[in-house]
Amino acid sequence: MSNYGTFTEPGTIRFERLLPGPIERVWEYLTESEKRGKWLATGEMELRVGGKVELIFNHADLSPHDEQIPEKYKQFQYGTRHVGTITAIDPPRLLSHTWMETSEDASEVTYELFEKGENVLLVLTHRRLGDDRDLLISVGAGWHTHLGILVDHLNGRTPKGFWGMHGKMEEEYAERIG
């Protein structure tokens, strides 16, 4: 299993991560604000189709490392907020929601969980991203970095700094996309 996201079709990237279970624990890290805030973003989720999703990002809170935020992301220095709507849910196996719903180009993220013995396979698919190269690089690097932090938390490790890792991943995704 490659850690890199795979562009499965135009505007769609898919990631797979094998995580320590049980599946209910991983589900909590997707749906509970406090646990999700350790690797992605805090915010409430109304766990029903049509329910509201609030994601409040504060990347400085994702690791104890004190990092300089890159100039091109300075507008996110004090956090940012996105809202969406749950489009599909089947606890504890499936969650889909819109992403950046307030923009003209709302995309959709799907998390699928599959039990693999004592582990859980997470398949994350982000669709309807369009064809903007810079956006695809940023999204690929962002999910890669966030998922790395999730893996660290679930394995009881201190995560690396978000911005340092994200910068490295942007370089790698830029090379992969060409």
Q: Which superfamily does 6-177 belong to?
A: START domain (3.30.530.20)
More confident residue, 122 or 104: 122
The candidate with the shortest Cα–Cα distance to 19, out of 122, 99, 129, 157, is 122
Q: Do you know the residue count of the chain?
A: 178
In the structure, what pLDDT confidence band is assigned to residue 101 with cuts at 50, 70 and 90?
Answer: confident
Instruction: List b or e across 20-36, with b for residues whose CB sees 16 or more CB atoms inside 10 angstroms.
Output: ebebeebbebbbeeebb
SS3 145: helix
Q: To the nearest whole percent, how much of the chain has pLDDT over 90?
A: 83
Which spans in the chain are helix H? Answer: 23-31, 33-36, 133-154, 162-177
User: How confident is the model over 111-138, as a mean pLDDT?
Assistant: 96
Each residue of 76-94: pLDDT tens digit?
787 889 999 999 999 999 9
79: tokens are 């956090």
pLDDT at 65 over 70: yes
More confident residue, 100 or 20: 20
Each residue of 139-167: pLDDT tens digit?
999 999 999 999 999 999 999 999 999 99
User: How confident is the model over 2-11, as a mean pLDDT?
Assistant: 92
Number of DSSP helices (H) and strands (E) in the chain, helices first: 4, 7
In the structure, what pLDDT confidence band is assigned to residue 2 with cuts at 50, 70 and 90?
Answer: low
